[in-house]
Structure 1
Protein backbone atom coordinates (compact mmCIF):
# COMPACT_ATOMS: atom_id res chain seq x y z
CA UNK A 1 0.00 0.00 0.00
CA UNK A 2 1.40 3.33 -1.10
CA UNK A 3 0.84 6.40 1.02
CA UNK A 4 0.51 9.86 -0.36
CA UNK A 5 3.39 11.99 1.00
CA UNK A 6 1.18 15.09 0.80
CA UNK A 7 -1.71 13.63 2.85
CA UNK A 8 -0.53 14.94 6.27
CA UNK A 9 0.24 18.35 4.77
CA UNK A 10 -3.14 18.76 3.02
CA UNK A 11 -5.20 19.55 6.18
CA UNK A 12 -2.51 21.95 7.36
CA UNK A 13 -2.48 23.70 3.97
CA UNK A 14 -6.31 23.90 3.93
CA UNK A 15 -6.32 25.43 7.43
CA UNK A 16 -3.68 27.95 6.44
CA UNK A 17 -5.65 28.87 3.32
CA UNK A 18 -8.85 29.42 5.34
CA UNK A 19 -6.97 31.48 7.94
CA UNK A 20 -5.42 33.67 5.23
CA UNK A 21 -8.78 34.17 3.54
CA UNK A 22 -10.41 35.20 6.80
CA UNK A 23 -7.61 37.70 7.47
CA UNK A 24 -8.24 39.37 4.13
CA UNK A 25 -11.98 39.63 4.68
CA UNK A 26 -12.87 43.14 5.82
CA UNK A 27 -14.09 43.33 9.39
CA UNK A 28 -17.78 43.90 9.76
CA UNK A 29 -18.41 47.39 11.04
CA UNK A 30 -20.54 47.66 14.10
CA UNK A 31 -23.55 49.77 13.34
CA UNK A 32 -23.68 52.90 15.44
CA UNK A 33 -26.93 53.94 16.99
CA UNK A 34 -26.59 57.54 15.87
CA UNK A 35 -29.77 59.12 14.59
CA UNK A 36 -29.57 62.04 12.19
CA UNK A 37 -31.50 65.15 13.25
CA UNK A 38 -33.77 64.88 10.20
CA UNK A 39 -34.95 61.46 11.42
CA UNK A 40 -35.64 62.60 15.00
CA UNK A 41 -39.00 63.53 16.38
CA UNK A 42 -39.40 67.22 17.23
CA UNK A 43 -39.80 66.19 20.88
CA UNK A 44 -36.46 64.32 20.91
CA UNK A 45 -34.70 67.22 19.23
CA UNK A 46 -36.21 69.67 21.74
CA UNK A 47 -35.15 67.45 24.65
CA UNK A 48 -31.54 67.47 23.41
CA UNK A 49 -31.67 71.26 22.96
CA UNK A 50 -32.85 71.61 26.56
CA UNK A 51 -30.05 69.33 27.80
CA UNK A 52 -27.43 71.44 26.03
CA UNK A 53 -29.01 74.74 27.11
CA UNK A 54 -28.99 73.63 30.75
CA UNK A 55 -25.45 72.34 30.47
CA UNK A 56 -24.02 75.57 29.06
CA UNK A 57 -25.95 77.61 31.63
CA UNK A 58 -24.18 75.61 34.35
CA UNK A 59 -20.87 76.03 32.51
CA UNK A 60 -21.15 79.83 32.35
CA UNK A 61 -22.10 79.92 36.04
CA UNK A 62 -18.80 78.18 36.76
CA UNK A 63 -17.01 80.66 34.49
CA UNK A 64 -18.44 83.50 36.62
CA UNK A 65 -17.11 81.71 39.72
CA UNK A 66 -13.66 81.69 38.05
CA UNK A 67 -13.44 77.96 38.84
CA UNK A 68 -11.12 76.59 36.15
CA UNK A 69 -11.15 73.01 37.44
CA UNK A 70 -14.94 72.73 37.31
CA UNK A 71 -15.09 74.61 34.00
CA UNK A 72 -12.76 72.11 32.38
CA UNK A 73 -15.00 69.17 33.34
CA UNK A 74 -17.35 70.30 30.56
CA UNK A 75 -14.62 69.51 27.98
CA UNK A 76 -13.37 66.11 26.84
CA UNK A 77 -9.73 65.71 27.80
CA UNK A 78 -8.44 63.72 24.82
CA UNK A 79 -5.71 64.23 22.23
CA UNK A 80 -8.48 64.91 19.68
CA UNK A 81 -9.81 67.96 21.57
CA UNK A 82 -9.23 71.23 19.72
CA UNK A 83 -9.56 74.86 20.75
CA UNK A 84 -9.31 78.06 18.76
CA UNK A 85 -8.39 80.85 21.13
CA UNK A 86 -9.54 84.48 20.84
CA UNK A 87 -6.10 85.48 19.56
CA UNK A 88 -6.39 82.97 16.71
CA UNK A 89 -3.97 80.41 18.11
CA UNK A 90 -4.81 76.73 18.15
CA UNK A 91 -4.61 74.67 21.29
CA UNK A 92 -5.44 71.39 22.94
CA UNK A 93 -7.21 70.71 26.23
CA UNK A 94 -4.19 71.63 28.38
CA UNK A 95 -3.49 74.82 26.42
CA UNK A 96 -7.13 75.93 26.82
CA UNK A 97 -6.98 75.18 30.54
CA UNK A 98 -3.73 77.12 31.01
CA UNK A 99 -4.93 80.11 28.96
CA UNK A 100 -8.14 80.40 30.97
CA UNK A 101 -6.47 79.69 34.32
CA UNK A 102 -4.02 82.53 33.63
CA UNK A 103 -6.93 84.84 32.82
CA UNK A 104 -9.01 83.76 35.83
CA UNK A 105 -6.03 84.30 38.14
CA UNK A 106 -5.92 87.98 37.15
CA UNK A 107 -9.62 88.54 37.85
CA UNK A 108 -11.45 89.42 41.01
CA UNK A 109 -14.89 89.12 39.38
CA UNK A 110 -16.33 88.19 36.00
CA UNK A 111 -19.91 88.52 34.83
CA UNK A 112 -21.34 86.92 31.73
CA UNK A 113 -24.30 88.60 30.01
CA UNK A 114 -25.70 86.25 27.35
CA UNK A 115 -27.03 87.90 24.21
CA UNK A 116 -27.92 84.96 21.99
CA UNK A 117 -27.52 81.22 21.78
CA UNK A 118 -28.14 78.88 18.87
CA UNK A 119 -28.33 75.15 19.39
CA UNK A 120 -28.14 73.01 16.27
CA UNK A 121 -28.77 69.32 16.83
CA UNK A 122 -26.79 67.41 14.20
CA UNK A 123 -27.43 63.89 15.51
CA UNK A 124 -28.59 62.41 18.80
CA UNK A 125 -24.95 62.44 19.92
CA UNK A 126 -23.54 65.57 18.23
CA UNK A 127 -24.66 69.16 18.86
CA UNK A 128 -23.24 72.48 17.67
CA UNK A 129 -23.71 75.30 20.20
CA UNK A 130 -23.02 78.93 19.25
CA UNK A 131 -23.22 81.88 21.63
CA UNK A 132 -22.72 85.61 21.81
CA UNK A 133 -22.36 87.55 25.03
CA UNK A 134 -20.86 90.47 26.89
CA UNK A 135 -18.31 89.89 29.63
CA UNK A 136 -17.44 92.35 32.39
CA UNK A 137 -14.34 91.77 34.47
CA UNK A 138 -12.80 93.43 37.48
CA UNK A 139 -9.13 92.65 37.77
CA UNK A 140 -7.41 92.10 41.11
CA UNK A 141 -5.75 95.48 40.52
CA UNK A 142 -9.22 97.09 40.56
CA UNK A 143 -9.17 97.85 36.81
CA UNK A 144 -12.46 97.18 35.03
CA UNK A 145 -12.67 95.64 31.57
CA UNK A 146 -15.61 95.09 29.26
CA UNK A 147 -15.66 92.63 26.36
CA UNK A 148 -18.67 93.81 24.36
CA UNK A 149 -18.92 91.16 21.66
CA UNK A 150 -17.68 87.74 22.71
CA UNK A 151 -18.78 84.90 20.44
CA UNK A 152 -18.00 81.24 20.51
CA UNK A 153 -18.81 77.77 19.31
CA UNK A 154 -18.75 74.49 21.16
CA UNK A 155 -19.17 71.10 19.53
CA UNK A 156 -20.72 68.70 22.02
CA UNK A 157 -20.47 64.93 21.68
CA UNK A 158 -22.33 62.47 23.84
CA UNK A 159 -19.59 60.31 25.35
CA UNK A 160 -20.45 57.51 27.76
CA UNK A 161 -23.88 59.04 28.29
CA UNK A 162 -22.60 62.56 29.07
CA UNK A 163 -22.32 65.64 26.85
CA UNK A 164 -18.73 66.89 26.54
CA UNK A 165 -17.33 69.68 24.39
CA UNK A 166 -14.82 68.20 21.95
CA UNK A 167 -14.16 71.48 20.14
CA UNK A 168 -14.17 75.07 21.42
CA UNK A 169 -13.72 78.34 19.57
CA UNK A 170 -13.96 81.85 21.01
CA UNK A 171 -13.61 85.26 19.43
CA UNK A 172 -13.45 88.55 21.30
CA UNK A 173 -12.36 92.09 20.44
CA UNK A 174 -9.93 94.09 22.51
CA UNK A 175 -11.63 94.98 25.81
CA UNK A 176 -13.08 98.41 26.48
CA UNK A 177 -11.71 99.92 29.69
Structure 2
Protein backbone atom coordinates (compact mmCIF):
# COMPACT_ATOMS: atom_id res chain seq x y z
CA UNK A 1 0.00 0.00 0.00
CA UNK A 2 1.63 3.21 -1.21
CA UNK A 3 5.12 1.84 -0.59
CA UNK A 4 4.32 0.67 2.93
CA UNK A 5 4.61 -2.95 3.94
CA UNK A 6 1.54 -4.33 5.66
CA UNK A 7 1.22 -7.67 7.37
CA UNK A 8 -2.27 -9.05 7.00
CA UNK A 9 -3.61 -11.96 9.03
CA UNK A 10 -6.59 -13.73 7.49
CA UNK A 11 -8.63 -14.99 10.40
CA UNK A 12 -11.06 -17.90 10.08
CA UNK A 13 -14.34 -16.87 8.48
CA UNK A 14 -16.85 -15.96 11.14
CA UNK A 15 -20.03 -13.97 11.45
CA UNK A 16 -19.69 -13.30 15.17
CA UNK A 17 -17.27 -12.81 18.07
CA UNK A 18 -19.36 -14.88 20.50
CA UNK A 19 -16.77 -17.69 20.93
CA UNK A 20 -19.22 -20.54 20.41
CA UNK A 21 -17.23 -22.08 17.55
CA UNK A 22 -13.51 -22.77 17.24
CA UNK A 23 -13.27 -20.19 14.44
CA UNK A 24 -14.87 -17.53 16.63
CA UNK A 25 -12.56 -18.35 19.55
CA UNK A 26 -9.47 -18.16 17.33
CA UNK A 27 -10.52 -14.88 15.73
CA UNK A 28 -11.56 -13.25 18.99
CA UNK A 29 -8.46 -14.46 20.83
CA UNK A 30 -6.21 -12.93 18.19
CA UNK A 31 -8.09 -9.63 18.19
CA UNK A 32 -7.99 -9.39 21.98
CA UNK A 33 -4.27 -10.27 22.09
CA UNK A 34 -3.41 -6.66 21.31
CA UNK A 35 -1.33 -7.78 18.35
CA UNK A 36 -3.37 -6.25 15.51
CA UNK A 37 -2.96 -2.55 14.83
CA UNK A 38 -6.27 -2.43 12.99
CA UNK A 39 -8.93 -4.64 11.46
CA UNK A 40 -10.13 -4.88 7.89
CA UNK A 41 -13.71 -6.09 8.24
CA UNK A 42 -14.69 -7.60 4.88
CA UNK A 43 -18.48 -7.49 4.72
CA UNK A 44 -20.67 -9.22 2.13
CA UNK A 45 -22.66 -6.25 0.85
CA UNK A 46 -25.26 -8.57 -0.67
CA UNK A 47 -26.07 -9.87 2.83
CA UNK A 48 -25.42 -6.74 4.85
CA UNK A 49 -27.81 -7.38 7.73
CA UNK A 50 -26.16 -10.69 8.66
CA UNK A 51 -22.66 -9.30 8.28
CA UNK A 52 -23.23 -6.17 10.36
CA UNK A 53 -23.55 -8.33 13.49
CA UNK A 54 -19.78 -8.92 13.39
CA UNK A 55 -19.14 -5.28 12.50
CA UNK A 56 -21.11 -4.11 15.54
CA UNK A 57 -19.23 -6.56 17.78
CA UNK A 58 -15.87 -5.33 16.47
CA UNK A 59 -16.97 -1.75 17.11
CA UNK A 60 -17.99 -2.72 20.65
CA UNK A 61 -14.50 -4.22 21.10
CA UNK A 62 -13.21 -0.74 20.20
CA UNK A 63 -11.08 -2.10 17.37
CA UNK A 64 -9.63 0.46 14.96
CA UNK A 65 -11.03 -0.72 11.66
CA UNK A 66 -11.92 -0.23 8.04
CA UNK A 67 -15.01 -1.84 6.53
CA UNK A 68 -14.74 -3.26 3.02
CA UNK A 69 -18.22 -3.57 1.49
CA UNK A 70 -17.34 -6.47 -0.78
CA UNK A 71 -19.50 -7.94 -3.55
CA UNK A 72 -21.07 -4.56 -4.25
CA UNK A 73 -21.77 -5.75 -7.79
CA UNK A 74 -23.84 -8.67 -6.47
CA UNK A 75 -25.67 -6.41 -4.01
CA UNK A 76 -26.51 -3.85 -6.68
CA UNK A 77 -27.50 -6.61 -9.12
CA UNK A 78 -29.94 -7.85 -6.49
CA UNK A 79 -31.45 -4.41 -6.05
CA UNK A 80 -29.64 -3.60 -2.79
CA UNK A 81 -28.57 0.04 -2.54
CA UNK A 82 -25.96 0.94 0.06
CA UNK A 83 -24.61 4.44 0.64
CA UNK A 84 -21.02 3.80 1.82
CA UNK A 85 -20.54 7.44 2.86
CA UNK A 86 -23.65 7.43 5.03
CA UNK A 87 -22.76 4.03 6.53
CA UNK A 88 -19.28 5.37 7.29
CA UNK A 89 -20.79 8.36 9.09
CA UNK A 90 -23.12 6.14 11.11
CA UNK A 91 -20.42 3.64 12.11
CA UNK A 92 -17.63 6.16 12.60
CA UNK A 93 -15.15 4.17 10.49
CA UNK A 94 -14.02 4.25 6.87
CA UNK A 95 -16.30 2.19 4.60
CA UNK A 96 -14.98 1.28 1.15
CA UNK A 97 -17.09 -0.34 -1.60
CA UNK A 98 -15.23 -3.21 -3.27
CA UNK A 99 -15.53 -6.06 -5.73
CA UNK A 100 -12.57 -8.24 -4.73
CA UNK A 101 -12.94 -10.71 -7.61
CA UNK A 102 -12.43 -7.86 -10.07
CA UNK A 103 -9.88 -5.92 -8.01
CA UNK A 104 -12.23 -2.95 -7.61
CA UNK A 105 -11.60 -0.82 -4.56
CA UNK A 106 -8.16 -2.29 -3.81
CA UNK A 107 -6.40 1.09 -3.97
CA UNK A 108 -9.14 2.74 -1.87
CA UNK A 109 -8.88 -0.01 0.77
CA UNK A 110 -5.11 0.53 0.98
CA UNK A 111 -5.61 4.27 1.36
CA UNK A 112 -8.26 3.74 4.05
CA UNK A 113 -6.02 1.30 5.93
CA UNK A 114 -3.05 3.68 5.87
CA UNK A 115 -5.18 6.66 6.86
CA UNK A 116 -6.79 4.74 9.72
CA UNK A 117 -3.44 3.37 10.89
CA UNK A 118 -1.94 6.86 11.03
CA UNK A 119 -4.99 8.44 12.68
CA UNK A 120 -4.94 9.23 16.37
CA UNK A 121 -8.74 8.90 16.42
CA UNK A 122 -8.91 5.52 14.69
CA UNK A 123 -11.34 3.98 17.18
CA UNK A 124 -14.99 4.73 16.51
CA UNK A 125 -17.29 6.26 19.11
CA UNK A 126 -20.10 4.05 17.77
CA UNK A 127 -22.17 2.52 20.51
CA UNK A 128 -25.20 0.27 20.23
CA UNK A 129 -28.10 1.50 22.35
CA UNK A 130 -29.75 -1.43 24.10
CA UNK A 131 -32.64 0.65 25.44
CA UNK A 132 -33.04 2.50 28.76
CA UNK A 133 -33.58 -0.50 31.03
CA UNK A 134 -30.68 -2.56 29.72
CA UNK A 135 -28.43 0.50 29.43
CA UNK A 136 -28.98 1.18 33.14
CA UNK A 137 -27.98 -2.40 33.98
CA UNK A 138 -24.96 -2.17 31.68
CA UNK A 139 -23.84 1.04 33.42
CA UNK A 140 -24.10 -0.60 36.84
CA UNK A 141 -22.06 -3.64 35.82
CA UNK A 142 -19.54 -1.50 33.93
CA UNK A 143 -18.99 0.64 37.01
CA UNK A 144 -18.29 -2.47 39.09
CA UNK A 145 -15.87 -3.80 36.48
CA UNK A 146 -13.96 -0.51 36.43
CA UNK A 147 -12.75 -1.28 39.95
CA UNK A 148 -11.67 -4.84 39.06
CA UNK A 149 -8.03 -5.25 38.01
CA UNK A 150 -8.92 -8.34 35.96
CA UNK A 151 -10.81 -6.06 33.57
CA UNK A 152 -7.74 -4.00 32.70
CA UNK A 153 -6.68 -4.31 29.08
CA UNK A 154 -10.26 -4.84 27.91
CA UNK A 155 -12.85 -2.33 26.86
CA UNK A 156 -15.28 -2.16 29.80
CA UNK A 157 -18.37 -1.73 27.65
CA UNK A 158 -17.47 -4.80 25.60
CA UNK A 159 -16.75 -6.88 28.72
CA UNK A 160 -20.04 -5.81 30.26
CA UNK A 161 -22.09 -6.66 27.18
CA UNK A 162 -20.38 -10.05 26.83
CA UNK A 163 -20.84 -10.88 30.53
CA UNK A 164 -24.51 -9.97 30.42
CA UNK A 165 -24.88 -12.11 27.28
CA UNK A 166 -23.58 -15.07 29.28
CA UNK A 167 -20.29 -15.39 27.37
CA UNK A 168 -18.48 -18.27 29.08
CA UNK A 169 -15.03 -17.29 27.76
CA UNK A 170 -15.37 -13.80 29.24
CA UNK A 171 -16.71 -15.21 32.51
CA UNK A 172 -13.46 -17.21 32.83
CA UNK A 173 -11.59 -13.90 33.17
CA UNK A 174 -13.41 -13.30 36.44
CA UNK A 175 -13.52 -16.90 37.74
Normalising to structure 2: TM-score of the pair? Answer: 0.22
More helix by share: 2
Structure with bigger gyration radius: 1
